[in-house]
Amino acid sequence: MLSVKPYRGSRDFYPPEMRFRKWMFSRLRSSVEQFGFEEMDAPILEPIDLYLAKTSEEIVSTQIYTFKDRGDRQMVIRPEMTPSVSRMVAGKFRDLKKPIRWYSIPNLWRYERPSKGRLREHWQLNCDIFGAPDPFWADLEILHLAVTLLKNFGADHTMFRVKMNDRRIINYLFENVLKIQADWWAPVARIMDKKEKIPRDEYMAMMTAAGLGDAQIASVDLYLENPARFFADHRDGSPVFAEMEKLMAVAAESGLRDYVEYDPSVVRGFDYYTGFVFEIFDLTPGNNRSLFGGGRYDRLLENFGIQSANAVGFGMGDVTLQDFLESHHLVQNPDKLVHVYLAVFPDPSLLPHALNIASDLRKAGLNVEMNLGQKKMGKQFQEADEKNIPLVIILGEEEIKNNSVQMKNMKNGTQNQVFLENLQESIQSEWEKIYAAKN
Ligand code: HAM
């Protein structure tokens, strides 16, 4: 017998889960559109070269789903959206009005060990700004958008924190403090990224294996544990320290004071980031996976021949967002929205009339579920009740003769006759009562 389970690390979306997903995504879409972003999409399959150019070695070497197509081309099921968005922006770069503000909610595949907050297939809201006249304000806009997305679900600063850093600060550490060669930077950065997630012994062993001596590891520790001192010691060495302080200060002044903090351990696993980077964490201890990750990646478009196109954005996963909303009781799972259940006396000759009434109501924009079988009336009421449809229209021979129906409010039990010419208005006013009773 075949298994009825979905593939490991992926999910089936039965109607209740789909309803939840649609609710969550429609909230995200309306928040993002408040910031003037436009939705786009790309193919789920891309040639492997797109990811080899400049991405995360961990993803390419251990997490991509890859196969050869019938023409012997090595293909990848997209593990992230940033390379595809960049390819599309580059494809029409000259024609697109800048700054470009695009968003998408693609499903992505990564061969991960499934755990809390991590699956093999997830959906990820991606928001990116390309070609801003002043990248500083694009970074700030991205921060505001990220915070607003969570606030629009009812979240506040007691529930999450934006932790930010700048890749150039880490590069400064590598170049001027550790003085290590450039091809060591990415591997060392990835180990730093793991520091809080792995035991100290393992961390030390990885750093040593990467070629760092004890004094260098101590410098990394000082940077990670006392960033204020690190900033003070090196402020004169690079303008990036003042830039980070300015971003923190303007973010604080513009309403994000309680939401953002500098965190030297935020590195981000992808090699394409060039400046500001951030992650958002749930403050609930059990949900320790990041909710969002993003940053500035000014050089990715160079792979497609577009020079100096600044870019900044983030990805936010549906799995971690759902965990977040559930742990803070912010889920408002909407009921299936059927406005009316059309109950028909069990007589086949009535069905054509019922179909006409249903069509008229649907044309008027109402969602109508019609009884399809020859069920007894009691069973039809029960079905409407079980499906949580608050309004039932009843059609029998008498009603057809009078050009009317009976309308029953399942919430308060009232029932009355309504003439067909008044049906839409009557449904509307009954629904107003149902809404009023709900709120
Ligand atoms: P990322 O950090 O790999 O960044 O993913 C962003 C978010 O997607 C994570 O914070 C998490 O919420 C979610 N996520 C990632 N992997 C999984 C997984 N296996 N299961 C469930 N959720 C997951 C990126 O992908 C960048 N391309 C984001 C970006 C857009 N940067 C700039 N623009």
Beta strands at 74-77 and 45-47: parallel, antiparallel or unpaired: antiparallel
Token readout for 382 is 């029960």
The neighbouring-strand residues paired with 161 are 281
377 CA from centroid of ligand 1 (Å): 51
Give the containing element (helix H, strand E) for 190: helix 182-194
At 50-100, the pLDDT tens digits run: 998 776 677 888 899 999 999 999 999 999 999 999 999 999 999 999 999
What residue type is assigned to position 38 of the chain?
Answer: E
CA 82 to chain centre: 14
Residues 339/407, Cβ–Cβ less than 8 Å: no
At 136-152, the pLDDT tens digits run: 999 999 999 999 999 99
| Ligand 1 neighbour 128 (Cβ under 6 A) | yes
Atom of ligand 1 minimally distant from the CA of 117 = 21
Under 8 Å CB-to-CB from 357, ≥6 apart: which residues?
342, 393, 395, 405, 420, 423
409 CA from centroid of ligand 1 (Å): 46
Written as tens digits, the pLDDT of the chain (439 aa) is 999 999 999 999 999 899 999 999 999 999 999 999 999 999 999 999 999 877 667 788 889 999 999 999 999 999 999 999 999 999 999 999 999 999 999 999 999 999 999 999 999 999 999 999 999 999 999 999 999 999 999 999 999 999 999 999 999 999 999 999 988 888 898 888 888 888 999 999 999 999 999 999 999 999 999 999 999 999 999 999 999 999 999 999 999 999 999 999 998 878 899 999 999 999 988 887 899 999 999 999 999 999 979 999 999 999 999 999 999 999 986 666 789 999 999 998 999 999 999 999 999 999 999 988 888 999 999 999 998 899 999 999 999 999 999 999 998 889 999 999 999 999 998 888 887 777 6
Residues 377/345, Cβ–Cβ less than 8 Å: yes
392/30 Cα distance (integer angstroms): 32
At 213-260, the pLDDT tens digits run: 999 999 999 999 999 999 999 999 999 999 999 999 999 999 999 999
Q: Is 147 helix (H, G, I), strand (E, B) or coil?
A: helix
Beta strands at 65-68 and 74-77: parallel, antiparallel or unpaired: antiparallel
272 CA from centroid of ligand 1 (Å): 14
The structure's pTM equals 0.89
